[in-house]
């Protein structure tokens, strides 16, 4: 029976048009609103004569494809993490970066290029072309709050360059670190509109948080948690580059004329500093002279290369940082080894970027590719504290390891069971010649990074040159639009767009004397604030030292900060404070800062570190003390999991099966976390690790049978934060083992690991059987429920 026959048979009342006709019209209206009207739906809605007429309609009718402008370049943007202006050989540093240097010889070095001075805001500014506060990402997501400008929720009116390019006919892919989706939106419950694939990227392969274990990363493909590829020599930087090349090949194979936008953001060289021993060993003996000597050597090479003016002055070491000579021999030994690890990690990362460049060349795509290589989303990181750490997540929370522990782990630093970060002295040295480091947006050591831009088809004979126009990470999106000769769309996905704050650098690619198009730039992170305007910069440091780790963050008044003034046209390194001699200029710049902050809607200005508690972001478990989970629940960010810190708690798993084995529930990873699981003989095991400060394993001796209940109970000592307590492992209400831990994490086990039921994603939190697959997934039965009870 044909559709036409059904329609005529059940036509019904002529005034209503019949049941099927009404349904078809409603369906057509719905699908039309979604842009999904099909030929079949149109035929259902039409009478037979109309369908016959449609059959004889113009046979040339087609669905147009979105096409990029003719000759549009591919675009590749590479963003490294926590590098420092003076780290790479390309900008005078001690670390070999052959890919960055080769790209600079074929392109252009930019020596006055700036970030926001911290991770998430830099990524927001890069991808949207707006100031980070305008995009609502004025703070790193881990210290965001409910105040406008700091919520960490990308605004629809500040669409990403990926969303714009996709509408212009580009394929778009993001690989590596994201750190632009809030934790309460980063689980399998969604929503997914602020995940990479929700803001313009066709493809995402990487990790969602601010850092990850380089050997056992917490990976996602699209919005789905996945395990890393199998293999003992796995490293996530190599993996994301492999994935990027494969994706590039796939989209080019399907449509060779379609350009692509590829955003590659390795986790390197953010902690953990993890890389194979062979890369670390290449730098044996190179850092024994220490950070004071290194800083001077870097400036000398920078002058020799011409990447800083010949009259650049070196800023002195802050009194709060120790001199290298003040360290003991053992402390210097540990510090040098940690710096070696950083160097090997950075070189390894750059070599992987080189593989991407070679892939473009081998495929004939390089000459017409706008390639932007930004060596850091901010300055070097001092988050390892004054001593550095073999497991810096503990140090960040006031639980450092001892020097003896560091010495015992010396040869393991950079390996799978360490989570290292180097001492703050190295971070200061690697920002040579500037003041301060990451987080300090008021000064150039926090914001200025080495950057290389290549586009052989446009740069031509200018290759190998230096560009000194003031520029900012928010200039990249406008530069891409200018390269395509298209304006910012008035709307993206139906939402009216806010103007971009950055300006195009395209003219500087062709002309070293091109005028500066970025006259003013606002900076603020954690209350550290500054403003650049036409060669002058006003700066106010907000009192909290960036190498302060552990302890309670106490609010400090903005009014107590001292404003400084620098003329950057004549003082490249921000070394001469002119506030006393030019009070009128300082007053002018302070007013400009105030006006911009007011326009951004962030007054009264407060440090995001001071407002995290007073204006907290949402927690999905707020007000609950009982949580029930079922098998298949994976990928819950720790910040949204039941909060087991500084209190008593219980976890109870109800099982079905005769020989069950595998993970029941887990939180965290190898260097900090816990796992409740059944071993290969179906015996219950509970493993708990507190960084380098404590480790405990409880075991049952008998295999489980029937439909057992397995529980672990923790009775907290109380009396403050990070106290110890007693653990009990039970089967069907009977205690099978017990033990004590003397310290617990006060805030978190990890930054990127998750809470999982039935499998362990990311790095393993338990000591699983050697023959088990990645994640040690539960099998041999069923997990009915896992109940978490806060007590």
Q: Give pTM, 2 decimals.
A: 0.92
Same domain, 360 and 466: yes
**Cα of 291 vs its chain's centroid, Å:** 28
pLDDT tens column, 354-396: 999 999 999 999 999 999 999 999 999 999 999 999 999 999 9
What integer pLDDT is reported at residue 58 of this predicted model? 61
Same domain, 185 and 278: yes
- Using a pLDDT cut of 90, give the percent of the chain over it: 88
Compute CA distances 643 → 664, 745, 755, 787, whole Å.
18, 11, 11, 13
pLDDT tens column, 413-444: 999 999 999 999 999 999 999 999 999 999 99
Nearest Cα neighbor of 520 from 571, 446, 470 is 470
Same domain, 212 and 313: yes
DSSP letter for each residue of 741-778: ES---SS-S-SS-EEEESS--SS-SS---TTPPTT---
pLDDT tens column, 53-109: 554 556 678 898 889 988 999 999 999 999 999 999 999 999 999 999 999 999 999
Residue 593 CB coordination number (10 Å): 22
What integer pLDDT is reported at residue 219 of this predicted model? 98
The dihedrals phi and psi of 669, each to the nearest 5 degrees, come to -150, -155
Give the start-end residues of each E strand in 679-766: 684-690, 694-699, 709-716, 725-731, 734-741, 754-757
Same domain, 434 and 299: yes
Residue 735: inside a domain: yes
Same domain, 81 and 196: yes
Does the pLDDT at position 48 exceed 80?
no
User: Is 725 in contact with 714 (CB distance < 8 Å)?
Assistant: yes
Nearest Cα neighbor of 637 from 667, 612, 657 is 667
What integer pLDDT is reported at residue 140 of this predicted model? 97
Nearest Cα neighbor of 545 from 430, 421, 443 is 443
Q: What share of the chain is helix, strand, coil (3-state, %, to 5)?
A: 30, 20, 50
What CA–CA distance (Å, rounded) separates 286 from 271? 21
Domain boundary among 467, 483, 502: 502
Residue 540: inside a domain: no
Confidence of residue 549 (pLDDT cuts 50, 70, 90): confident
Does the pLDDT at position 4 exceed 80?
no
User: Is 744 in contact with 724 (CB distance < 8 Å)?
Assistant: yes
Same domain, 158 and 194: yes
How many domains does the chain contain in total?
Answer: 3
Residue 410: inside a domain: no
Domain boundary among 472, 502, 532: 502
Confidence of residue 554 (pLDDT cuts 50, 70, 90): confident
Residue 401: inside a domain: no
The dihedrals phi and psi of 471, each to the nearest 5 degrees, come to -145, 165
Same domain, 374 and 261: yes
pLDDT tens column, 315-345: 999 999 999 999 999 999 999 999 999 999 9
**Coil, helix or strand at residue 570:** coil
Query: What's the whole-number mean pLDDT along residues 133-138?
Result: 98
Provide the edge-to-edge strand list for the sheet that holds 662-669.
636-637, 754-757, 662-669, 672-678, 684-690, 694-699
What CA–CA distance (Å, rounded) separates 393 from 398? 9
What CA–CA distance (Å, rounded) separates 664 from 145? 33
What CA–CA distance (Å, rounded) separates 391 from 386? 14
Q: Which residues of 555-568 are buried (b: 16+ CB within 10 A; e: fewer)?
A: eeebeebebbbbeb
**Coil, helix or strand at residue 676:** strand
What CA–CA distance (Å, rounded) separates 383 from 416? 20
What CA–CA distance (Å, rounded) separates 499 from 214? 38
User: Is 90 in contact with 104 (CB distance < 8 Å)?
Assistant: yes
Tokens standing for residue 691: 């960084």
Confidence of residue 699 (pLDDT cuts 50, 70, 90): very high
Residue 559: inside a domain: no
Cα-trace Rg, the chain: 29
Alpha-carbon torsion (742, 746, 748, 750), positive or negative: negative
Tokens standing for residue 325: 């000579």
The dihedrals phi and psi of 714, each to the nearest 5 degrees, come to -125, 125
**Coil, helix or strand at residue 460:** helix
User: Is 502 in contact with 477 (CB distance < 8 Å)?
Assistant: yes
What CA–CA distance (Å, rounded) separates 129 from 342? 31
Residue 334: inside a domain: yes
Does the pLDDT at position 36 exceed 50?
no
Q: What CATH number does residue 630 fall under?
A: 2.60.120.200
Confidence of residue 24 (pLDDT cuts 50, 70, 90): very low
User: Is 409 in contact with 334 (CB distance < 8 Å)?
Assistant: no
Query: What's the whole-number mean pLDDT along residues 503-510?
Result: 97
What CA–CA distance (Å, rounded) separates 587 from 758? 60
Instruction: Find the length of the chain.
Output: 791
Q: What is the mean pLDDT of the chain?
A: 92
Higher pLDDT, 777 or 35: 777
Same domain, 350 and 207: yes
Q: What CATH number does residue 313 fall under?
A: 3.40.720.10
Q: Which residues of 447-474 are buried (b: 16+ CB within 10 A; e: fewer)?
A: bbbbbbbbbeebbeeeeeeebbbbbbbb
Same domain, 235 and 343: yes
Same domain, 155 and 226: yes
What integer pLDDT is reported at residue 59 of this predicted model? 63
189 CB-near residues (< 8 Å, 6+ apart) = 620
What integer pLDDT is reported at residue 62 of this predicted model? 86
User: Is 337 in contact with 413 (CB distance < 8 Å)?
Assistant: yes
pLDDT tens column, 169-199: 999 999 999 999 999 999 999 999 999 999 9
Query: What's the whole-number mean pLDDT along residues 596-622?
Result: 94
Peptide bond before residue 460 is cis, with ω within 30 degrees of 0: no
Does the pLDDT at position 7 exceed 80?
no
Q: What is the DSSP letter of 327?
A: S
The dihedrals phi and psi of 269, each to the nearest 5 degrees, come to -110, 40
What CA–CA distance (Å, rounded) separates 122 from 478? 15
Confidence of residue 628 (pLDDT cuts 50, 70, 90): very high
Tokens standing for residue 383: 């988050």
Domain hosting residue 452, numbered range: 74-390+424-502
pLDDT tens column, 243-302: 999 999 999 999 999 999 999 999 999 999 999 999 999 999 999 999 999 999 999 999
What integer pLDDT is reported at residue 52 of this predicted model? 52
What CA–CA distance (Å, rounded) separates 632 from 148? 36
Same domain, 696 and 754: yes
Higher pLDDT, 14 or 776: 776
Residue 576: inside a domain: no
Helices (H), 168-288: 236-254, 277-281
Longest dimension (CA), the chain: 97
Residue 578 CB coordination number (10 Å): 16
Residue 107: inside a domain: yes
Same domain, 297 and 370: yes
What integer pLDDT is reported at residue 555 of this predicted model? 83
Domain boundary among 479, 502, 525: 502
Helices (H), 179-328: 236-254, 277-281, 291-305
What integer pLDDT is reported at residue 65 of this predicted model? 84
495, β-bridge pairs: 492
What CA–CA distance (Å, rounded) separates 624 from 620? 9
What integer pLDDT is reported at residue 57 of this predicted model? 54
Nearest Cα neighbor of 394 from 686, 673, 754 is 673
């Amino acid at each position: 029976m044909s559709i036409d026959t059904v329609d005529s048979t059940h036509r019904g009342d002529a005034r209503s048009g019949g049941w099927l006709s009404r349904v078809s019209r409603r369906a057509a209206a719905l699908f039309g609103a979604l842009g999904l009207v099909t030929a079949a739906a149109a035929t259902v809605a039409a009478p037979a004569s109309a369908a016959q007429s449609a059959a004889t309609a113009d046979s040339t009718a087609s669905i147009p494809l979105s096409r990029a402008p003719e000759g549009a370049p591919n675009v590749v943007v590479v963003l490294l993490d926590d590098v420092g202006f003076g780290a790479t050989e390309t900008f005078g540093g001690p670390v070999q970066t052959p890919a960055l240097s080769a790209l600079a010889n074929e392109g252009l070095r930019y020596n006055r290029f700036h970030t926001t001075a911290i991770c998430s805001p830099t990524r927001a500014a890069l991808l949207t072309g707006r100031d980070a506060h305008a995009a609502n990402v004025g703070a790193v997501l881990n210290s965001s709050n409910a105040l406008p400008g700091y919520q960490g929720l990308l605004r629809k009116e500040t669409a990403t360059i990926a969303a714009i390019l996709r509408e212009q006919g580009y394929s778009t892919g993001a690989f590596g670190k994201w750190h632009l989706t809030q934790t309460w939106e980063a689980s399998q419950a969604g929503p997914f509109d602020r995940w990479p694939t929700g803001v313009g990227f066709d493809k995402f392969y990487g990790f969602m948080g601010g850092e990850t274990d380089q050997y056992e990363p917490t990976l996602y493909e699209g919005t789905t948690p996945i395990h890393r590829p199998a293999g003992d020599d796995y490293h996530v930087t190599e993996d994301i580059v492999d994935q990027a090349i494969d994706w590039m090949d796939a989209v080019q194979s399907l449509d060779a004329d379609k350009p692509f936008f590829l955003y590659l953001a390795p986790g390197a060289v953010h902690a953990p500093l993890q890389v194979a021993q062979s890369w670390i060993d290449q730098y044996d003996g190179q850092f024994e002279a220490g950070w004071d000597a290194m800083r001077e050597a870097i400036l000398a090479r920078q002058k020799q290369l011409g990447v800083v003016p010949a009259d650049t002055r070196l800023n002195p070491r802050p009194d709060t940082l120790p001199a290298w000579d003040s360290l003991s021999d053992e402390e210097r030994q540990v510090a040098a080894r940690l710096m070696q690890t950083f160097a090997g990690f950075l070189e390894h990362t750059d070599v992987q970027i080189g593989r991407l460049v070679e892939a473009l060349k081998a495929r004939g795509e390089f000459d017409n590719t706008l390639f932007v290589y930004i060596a850091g989303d901010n300055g070097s990181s001092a988050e390892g504290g004054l001593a550095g750490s073999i497991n810096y997540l503990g140090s960040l929370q006031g639980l450092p390891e001892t020097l003896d522990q560091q010495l015992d782990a010396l040869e393991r630093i950079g390996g799978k069971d360490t989570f290292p970060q180097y001492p703050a002295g190295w971070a200061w040295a690697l920002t040579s010649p500037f003041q301060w480091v990451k987080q300090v947006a008021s000064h150039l050591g926090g914001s200025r990074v080495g950057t290389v831009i290549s586009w052989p088809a446009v740069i031509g004979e200018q290759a190998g040159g230096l560009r000194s126009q003031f520029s900012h990470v928010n200039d990249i999106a406008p530069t891409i639009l200018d390269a395509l000769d298209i304006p910012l769309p008035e709307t993206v996905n139906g939402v009216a767009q806010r103007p971009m704050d950055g300006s195009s650098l395209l003219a500087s690619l062709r002309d070293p004397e091109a005028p500066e198009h970025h006259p003013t730039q606002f900076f603020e992170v954690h209350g550290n604030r500054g403003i650049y305007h036409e060669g002058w910069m006003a700066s106010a440091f907000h009192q909290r030292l960036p190498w302060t780790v552990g302890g309670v963050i106490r609010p400090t008044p903005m009014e107590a900060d001292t404003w400084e003034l620098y003329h950057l046209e004549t003082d490249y390194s921000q070394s001469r404070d002119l506030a006393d001699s030019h009070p009128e200029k300082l007053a002018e710049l302070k007013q400009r800062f105030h006006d911009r902050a007011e326009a951004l809607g962030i007054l009264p200005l407060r440090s995001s570190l001071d407002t995290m508690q007073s204006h907290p972001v949402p927690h999905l478990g707020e007000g609950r003390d009982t949580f029930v989970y079922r098998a298949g629940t994976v990928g819950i960010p720790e910040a949204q999991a039941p909060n087991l810190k500084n209190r008593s708690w219980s976890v109870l798993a109800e099982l079905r099966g005769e020989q069950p084995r595998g993970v029941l529930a887990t939180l965290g990873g190898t260097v900090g976390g816990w796992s409740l699981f059944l071993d290969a003989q179906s015996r219950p095991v509970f493993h708990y690790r507190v960084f380098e400060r404590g480790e405990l394993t409880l075991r049952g001796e008998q295999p489980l049978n029937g439909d057992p209940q397995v529980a672990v109970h923790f009775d907290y000592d109380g009396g403050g934060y990070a106290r110890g307590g007693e653990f009990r492992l039970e089967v069907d209400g009977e205690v099978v083992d017990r033990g004590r831990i003397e310290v617990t994490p006060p805030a978190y086990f990890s930054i990127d690991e998750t809470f999982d039921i039935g499998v362990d994603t990311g790095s393993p939190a338990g000591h699983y059987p050697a023959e088990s697959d990645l994640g040690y997934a539960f099998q041999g039965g069923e997990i009915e429920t896992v109940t978490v009870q806060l007590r």
